[in-house]
Amino acid sequence: MERVQKILARAGLASRREAERWILEGRVRVNGVVVRELGLKADPARDKIQVDHKPVRVAPERRYYLFHKPVGLITSLGDPRGRPHLGEYLERVGIRERVFPVGRLDFNSSGLLLLTDDGELSARLTHPRYR
């Protein structure tokens, strides 16, 4: 059992914060009942979870990609200043899953990045608590 917002994030539909907003807006259902409580837990293998009346399918396995970031690319999924960014590249090569970079590289740097949907691994690799 895990929190509904975590299930939605793991399904690649939204970040946890966005999923929390959906819950508070009444857009999420578990077994046909509207969920408005952030702490509610569900079992994605047993419970029927929907967002806007559409079924949520949770991928059982995590995604991991190695990406060689070229110079001149922002290591984020979007850029309000219109610079080339990772989100555009992922879309162009057909990666539809919601993955994010573990760490980052500067605009004028190149190097290898890990992209994943595994938030737990990302935290263990980057958070000072795990050093």
The catalytic residue among 79, 106, 117, 118 is: 106
pLDDT of residue 12: 83
Selecting from 3.10.290.10, 3.90.1150.10, 3.90.580.10, 2.60.40.10, what CATH number does the domain 2-55 have?
3.10.290.10
Confidence of residue 29 (pLDDT cuts 50, 70, 90): very high
**Structure token digits, residue 8:** 């939605």
- Our answer to whether residue 106 is catalytic in this structure is yes
Of 125, 114, 117, 102, nearest in space to 6 by CA: 117
CATH class of 64-130: alpha beta
Could you tell me if 61 and 121 are in contact, meaning their C-beta atoms sit under 8 angstroms apart? no
Domain boundaries, the chain: 2-55, 64-130
**pTM: predicted TM-score of the whole model, two decimal places:** 0.56
Residue 60 has pLDDT above 80, yes or no: no
What pLDDT is attached to residue 95?
86
Q: Is the pLDDT of residue 89 over 70?
A: yes
What's the confidence (pLDDT) of residue 59?
66
Buried (b) or exposed (e) across 52-69, using 16+ Cβ within 10 A?
A: eeeebeeeeeeeeeebeb
